[in-house]
A and B are shown apart, each in its own frame.
Chain A
């Protein structure tokens, strides 16, 4: 998106403050998803909105130039472009989700059977619920983040 004017200082400062908050909220939603509102999909979309905010306010190249210290502007064709890395994220996510299903087969259950384990005793928490579904949810999260960021960056760079 070509912006003729620089965003205001207010917008930039607020973005700096808000983006980490969004990311932390997204992670919280991801991890609490099993018992409270949330889950991989919502967390993924929320993460992408944080990136969208960065893209809109600071421009497309900001992430690569300032945070990753790279020469920005490489397109998909080259080996190192950030879009290619987003592609890796969703590919890995899909692999994790499918892998979590295959793990169930390996243990003799039907594909994608999920299990829950309670670990106790633990200090402070006393008892912690560990759901295998979280692995699948992480896969969902990665696919959503990777795919939507790919679309966003690709459409945005036009």
Chain B
């Protein structure tokens, strides 16, 4: 389990991460979304043990990862800005990985190389951006690490490779009960793969929740009544973005769908439609709840 408490990282005068506390249980795929400069990469580097926190703590299975090989051998990290040793080929890199990762699986590496149709002996510098990312991903997956950290990994992949990479990450998590953390600035990129989602904004963790939970607990309702009404009709219901046009109103609701339906039915609406929300809409809702500007958050989020 990855646990952060009050995690803070400051670069000179810039606070990249501010008092972030979260818990990521084992055996799940956790997506971290946020705009550029939100602190996603910093969070991953702190979890990987590359950075030392200025305040707070980060622990993996109750061990501090900074300069701790015992826990770091269970972490494979694919950074946004890739690095390969000078003159490296996949073969040479796998030798380097083998020298430090006890569980590095050669067979798995070869299998993935074939799957990605890469050349093991070709210098990585001659690879395209996507191929480099594939190489880094397959090397990380071959370490058989319990914790797989991917920073903006899907950038540069074509849709086929993207889906393939998603599938092998899912397989890995399913088969080995490993934990994957994937950062992205695109919600759509993550919604079909993640079990949990966290949102970082300007160095702070705004929310984190199970995707399933988010999806089932947030929905949109469209209602029409024969009588004149206002928001007070809905009493204690937890909702946002209430709009009313004539006799028809719509709102985004957080809560139990069945209970809400029963509540509405008691009000005898002429129309009562319950519609599912996209994750983006849910996040927008949550951000508004937390009094963050919905517009600002979205402008930062590139699709």
A and B found bound together: no
